[in-house]
């Protein structure tokens, strides 16, 4: 059995029901919108985010969930999908999960409006049901994601990024949404309890490990969809590079910064930078940090009694680290 199917097994029924509810939550009176949302739904990814919501909710409540849990999962997925549609416009990307992106098929103007529509549907789903605690969790996540993206853009211009700033960027950009999934799951069944903050921290740690793993792919650790060196071409400062920059002597540092700033389109130069980062222990350092986040996340789960849901969450934490793409 594939690892993702194994993780999903204890919540198979909930995930099937969620898909029906999620499709309904997207519906509109505008035919064009329905055509686009239908396209989005039929090209969904692994749906890790709603899986986090259901697994956490069931773990902290001994298998009990409510309508609020389904709404929480729908809100997360609506808002996540909205950010992906907007991201593709910002990045001028024509592909998403191997298919054409919304902006590639329907142009930027429509893509931005569809993203706005999905965002508003998510907010209204919470407001109409008085789920204000859930709305607060997701609104904070959206704010942080925007700040993280802008912080990364600002730092890419100057290349003056420290390890602490890097952690702040990935916490906001990536970890905050997974943290929101986990705290939403807990809040949907145990509002106002200590589980909400504990699970938020759990999700944040997984998100940090997830992003570092993504950054490692840029160094050709595995054969994945994106070519190696993309982050360097885009002047994105990731942990392996930050580490070696901080360790490098003045001459090497000048060469590295010059390569990233002025020669990031030169394939030979980019592969030299990748070789340097690997040789100077950048990857080993990043892997050790990623594993530290993983360990801390697994430690949080030890508070809970053994269950199929806890096992799936442990599998999920390990999958984040071991995945090949």
What's the CATH number where 149 sits? 1.10.600.10
| CA-based torsion, 124, 127, 128, 132: positive or negative | positive
Would 303 be classed as within a structural domain? Answer: yes
C-beta separation of 321 from 205 below 8 A: no
Would 114 be classed as within a structural domain? Answer: yes
- Domain extent at residue 158: 3-211+290-322
Task: Tell me how many domains the chain contains.
Answer: 1
C-beta separation of 309 from 58 below 8 A: yes
Would 218 be classed as within a structural domain? Answer: no
Would 201 be classed as within a structural domain? Answer: yes
Note if the pTM is more than 0.85: yes
Pick 224 or 102 by higher pLDDT.
Answer: 102
Would 42 be classed as within a structural domain? Answer: yes
For residue 146, give every residue at least 6 positions away whose Cβ sits within 8 Å of its Cβ, in sequence order, or none: none
Would 44 be classed as within a structural domain? Answer: yes
- Average pLDDT score, the chain: 85
Would 225 be classed as within a structural domain? Answer: no
Q: What is the pLDDT of residues 110-163, one digit of tens each?
A: 778 878 888 888 888 899 999 999 999 999 998 999 899 888 888 777 777 889
Would 32 be classed as within a structural domain? Answer: yes
């Amino acid at each position: 059995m594939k690892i993702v199917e194994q993780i999903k097994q204890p919540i198979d029924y909930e995930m099937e029901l969620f898909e029906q509810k999620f499709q309904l939550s997207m519906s509109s009176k505008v035919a064009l919108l329905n055509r686009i949302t239908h396209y989005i739904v039929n090209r969904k990814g692994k749906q890790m985010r709603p899986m986090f919501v259901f697994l956490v909710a069931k773990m902290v409540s001994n298998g009990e969930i409510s309508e609020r849990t389904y709404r929480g999962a729908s809100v997360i997925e609506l808002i996540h999908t909205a950010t992906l549609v907007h991201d593709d416009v910002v990045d001028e990307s024509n592909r998403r999960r191997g298919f054409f992106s919304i902006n590639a098929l329907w142009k930027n103007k429509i893509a931005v409006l569809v993203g706005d529509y999905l965002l508003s549907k998510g907010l209204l789903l919470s407001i109409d049901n008085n789920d204000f605690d859930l709305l607060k969790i997701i609104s904070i996540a959206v704010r942080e994601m925007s700040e993280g993206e802008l912080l990364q853009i600002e730092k890419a211009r100057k290349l003056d990024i420290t390890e602490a700033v890097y952690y702040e960027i990935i916490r906001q950009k990536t970890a905050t949404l997974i943290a929101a999934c986990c705290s939403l799951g807990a809040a949907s069944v145990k509002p106002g309890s200590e589980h909400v903050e504990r699970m938020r921290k759990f999700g944040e740690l997984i998100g940090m490990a997830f992003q570092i793993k993504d950054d490692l792919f840029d160094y050709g650790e595995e054969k994945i969809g994106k070519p190696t060196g993309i982050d360097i071409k885009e002047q994105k400062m990731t942990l392996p590079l930050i580490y070696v920059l901080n360790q490098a002597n003045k001459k090497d540092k000048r060469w590295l910064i010059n390569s990233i700033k002025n020669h990031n389109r030169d394939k030979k130069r980019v592969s030299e930078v990748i070789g340097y980062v690997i040789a100077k222990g950048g990857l080993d350092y990043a892997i050790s940090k990623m594993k530290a986040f993983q360990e801390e996340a697994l430690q949080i789960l030890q508070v809970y009694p053994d269950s199929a849901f806890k096992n799936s969450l442990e599998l999920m934490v390990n999958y984040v680290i071991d995945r090949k793409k």
